[in-house]
Each structure stands twice: as C-alpha cells, then as structure tokens.
C-alpha cells in the first residue's frame, strides 16, 4: 500500500516558469520575475516553494520546468535537484499552450502513457494534505481519460480570478469529488462574484491542469493543429543532437495562446474536463493587494512589511511596504497604501488600485523605458 508521502505512481509535474508578473512591478521585472521572489516571507522563492510542494508528489526526478533562457541560472540555483534533462528552455516567450504542450510531447515520448500535471511556479498554496488529496483525485480522473483541473472553493467574492462553473458531480474511480466542468467564466464584477459564491457551483480557476500527456496533445491538436505539429517537430528532435537547430527554426513561429483557450475551454465544451474541488488555501499573488492580504495579521490598520533588510518607520499607516534596497522608509498617516521601493524604481499606490499597476508597465514600455521593466 502506498504511503501518504510516496510519489503518485506514473505522475509527472510540469512547472511553467514564465510570467513576469506585471502587476507586481517594480518588484517583478523581466530579469527578476515574480516566481524568483519570496513574496510570502517563507524565506524562499515562490518557485522553490512550488518545487517543495510538487517534488514529493511526483518524485524529484519527475519535475520538469519550462522557463526562459535568461532565467536558466536562477532556476537551477533555486532548484539544485532539478534534473538537467527536465529543464526546457524557451528561446522567447510563446505562452502556456506552447510551453505545456512541448513538455507533454517530450514526456510522452520518454514515457508513453504518462500523466502530467501543470502547476504555476508563482502561486501560493497552504494545506499540503488537502492539496495532495486533490492532486491524487485529479490523477485518477486523468487516468480515466479526462483532463482534470483543481478548482478552489471561493472564500470571498474575488473579482480578480476566473471561475469554473461545475454543478454536476461525475462518477470516476478514485476521484469521488470530481465534477464535470460546464464552463469557464472570466473575472466577474462584484455582484456576479457574490452570486457565484452563494450558488456553491463555482470555483476559482487556479490554472492547474492534469491529464495524460497524450490526451492533452490530442485536445490541443483539435483546436491548434499547426501548433501541435510544431510541438511534435520540436519533441521529435528534443532528445537528439538536432534540438538546437529545430528550436531555432520552429519555436519562434509557434502561435501564442493560453492553454485555457486552446485546450481547457474546448474540452469543457466537449464534456471532457472535470474539476476536483480543492479544500486548501490558494492565491495567485497576482497583485500587491493580494500580497498585503497574505501578510496581514488580521489587525485593522495593519502595515505589512516585506524585505529582508527593510528599515521602515511607520506611524498611523496601513497597507504594504516592500523594501528592496535597504533605504530608510518613513510612512506617516497613509491608509491602505502600497509602497514598493527598489534600487531604480519606486511605486506608490493604494490597495484599491493594485490591479492598475500593469498600466504603468504598459506606459513605461511605450515610453521605451525597458531599463526599469
């Protein structure tokens, strides 16, 4: 009998480590993306936390990371046990369908029939036992031929997340809590989000997808046949001396599309997608409001302070201060403030405006200020 701490048989983890996290500028940058930061105060990066969470579920030799060439050194430093063969480098960002699809195609060739699960490198999860239980059910559903996702039971009417509508349970061996996904819905307004929470039929979309590699690739081929052809060409060459040549030729031409659109939504429409309701705490730490909440002690007028060398002098203030650079920071009488202090850029906004930070990044890009992006 398998122990609770044993790896799940025949399971492989794929971690796409790509997104910069524009809403976390100026902390997250092209050369220091969100997944390389410690945003939880755990003492390690989100990527390392993800490894520590996932490696026991699949085994240390069965975790693949897909990341940009520029991040190779940082990723390998963070994950010393990551196998060389399991580092998939993107010559340029091509979105999640290409990243996860290529990982699936490589792994299917190495181990036909393998079940893979893709998990973001920059999310926060608390509750290891419940998480393992959800992944175990999702793998069982994948073995039964489904594409499975793990949804999060909403604890509040969040407007920053997409939702999964899944009112109907479905009978799958080893996945007793699985529900058929009826549809994915985009970030709602507050009233809609409230109705979702009340109804009980909706879960947060945490972007976790678990399926046989072959099933994922088949689904991808139905909506994106050219993308699949490119991925197969890459995978055929991957573990051969031709890899470099084929990558240079094929990778830059792959269509950029999120796997939500190429695989998940069409599979849901075809009744092939199930969701396992996750009973653990999850957050995508998508903006500074989310980070402030993570660090809240629950007190009103609380000021969260991040940064190993933070020197913050605060009076009658609340919100969050992120200090990277060791400067003395004095904060007086500002409520729900967001202050992010880095050596070359400073952000001052409010919790309520946290989602607007992306617009700053867009404006800086338009202005040619790539030096601070």
Q: Does 327 sit near a copy of itself (CB under 8 A)?
A: yes
Q: Does 275 sit near a copy of itself (CB under 8 A)?
A: no
In whole angstroms, the minimum distance from the beta carbon of 368 to a copy of itself comes to 12
In whole angstroms, the minimum distance from the beta carbon of 342 to a copy of itself comes to 8
- Only one of the segments 28-36, 39-47, 136-144, 321-329 lies at the binding site for a copy of itself (rule: CB under 8 A); that segment is 321-329
Residue closer to a copy of itself by CB (options 115, 345) is: 345
- Only one of the segments 55-63, 82-90, 215-223, 345-353 lies at the binding site for a copy of itself (rule: CB under 8 A); that segment is 345-353
In whole angstroms, the minimum distance from the beta carbon of 352 to a copy of itself comes to 7
- Only one of the segments 42-50, 65-73, 238-246, 353-361 lies at the binding site for a copy of itself (rule: CB under 8 A); that segment is 353-361
Q: Does 100 sit near a copy of itself (CB under 8 A)?
A: no
Cβ atoms of residues 124 and 152 within 8 Å: no
Q: By CB under 8 A, how many residues form the interface with a copy of itself?
A: 34
Torsion of CA 354, 355, 356, 357, to 10 degrees: 70
Among residues 92, 106, 97, 112, which one has the least CA distance to residue 250? 92
Residues facing 281 on adjacent strands: 126
Q: ∠ CA 285-287-291 to the nearest 5 degrees?
A: 55
Q: Does 310 sit near a copy of itself (CB under 8 A)?
A: no
CA–CA separation, 148 vs 135, rounded Å? 9
CA–CA separation, 323 vs 14, rounded Å? 32
Residues facing 38 on adjacent strands: none
Q: Does 313 sit near a copy of itself (CB under 8 A)?
A: yes
Residue closer to a copy of itself by CB (options 73, 332) is: 332
Among residues 119, 117, 98, which one has the least CA distance to residue 235? 98
Out of 70, 167, 348, 365, which residue is the one contacting a copy of itself (CB under 8 A)?
348
CA–CA separation, 190 vs 197, rounded Å? 11
Q: Which two tokens stand for residue 297?
A: 């002690």
Q: Does 63 sit near a copy of itself (CB under 8 A)?
A: no
3-class secondary structure for 236-281?
A: HHHCCCCHHHHHHHHHHHCCCCCHHHHHHHHHHHCCCEEEEEECCE
Q: Does 104 sit near a copy of itself (CB under 8 A)?
A: no
Q: Does 346 sit near a copy of itself (CB under 8 A)?
A: yes
Task: Provide the binding-site residues for a copy of itself, judged by CB under 8 A.
Answer: 25-26, 313, 315-316, 327-334, 337, 339, 341, 343-350, 352-353, 356-357, 359-360, 363-364, 369, 372
């Amino acid at each position: 009998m398998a122990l609770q701490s044993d790896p799940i048989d025949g399971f492989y983890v794929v971690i796409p480590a790509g997104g910069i996290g524009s809403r976390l500028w100026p902390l997250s940058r092209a050369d220091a993306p969100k997944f390389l930061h410690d945003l939880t105060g755990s003492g390690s990066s989100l990527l390392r936390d993800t490894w520590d969470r996932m490696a026991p579920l699949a085994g240390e030799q069965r975790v693949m990371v897909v990341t940009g060439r520029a991040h190779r050194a940082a990723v390998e430093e963070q994950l010393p046990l990551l196998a060389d063969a399991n580092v998939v480098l993107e010559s340029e960002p091509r979105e999640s369908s290409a990243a996860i699809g290529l990982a699936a195609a490589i792994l299917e060739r190495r181990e036909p029939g393998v079940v893979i699960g893709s998990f973001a490198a920059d999310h926060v999860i608390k509750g290891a036992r419940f998480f393992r239980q959800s992944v175990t059910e999702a793998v069982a559903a994948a073995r039964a031929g489904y594409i499975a996702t793990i949804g999060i039971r909403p604890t509040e009417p969040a407007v920053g997340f997409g939702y999964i509508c899944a009112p109907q349970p479905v009978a799958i061996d080893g996945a007793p809590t699985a529900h058929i996904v009826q549809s994915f819905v985009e970030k709602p307004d507050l009233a809609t989000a409230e109705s979702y929470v009340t109804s009980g039929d909706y879960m947060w979309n945490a972007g976790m997808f678990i399926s046989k590699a072959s099933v994922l690739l088949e689904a991808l081929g139905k909506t994106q046949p050219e993308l699949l052809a490119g991925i197969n060409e890459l995978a055929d060459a991957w573990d051969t001396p031709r890899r470099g040549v084929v990558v240079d030729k094929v990778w830059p031409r792959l269509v950029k599309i999120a796997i939500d659109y190429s695989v998940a939504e069409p599979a849901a429409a075809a009744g092939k997608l199930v969701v396992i309701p996750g009973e653990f705490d999850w957050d995508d730490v998508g903006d500074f409001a989310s980070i402030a909440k993570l660090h809240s002690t629950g007190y009103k007028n609380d000021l969260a302070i991040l940064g190993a060398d933070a020197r913050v002098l605060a009076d009658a203030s609340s919100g969050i201060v992120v200090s990277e650079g060791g400067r003395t920071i004095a904060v007086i009488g500002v409520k729900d403030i967001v202050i992010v202090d880095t050596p070359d850029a400073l952000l001052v906004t409010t919790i309520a405006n946290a989602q607007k930070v992306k617009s700053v990044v867009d404006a800086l890009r338009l202005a040619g200020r790539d030096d601070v992006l």
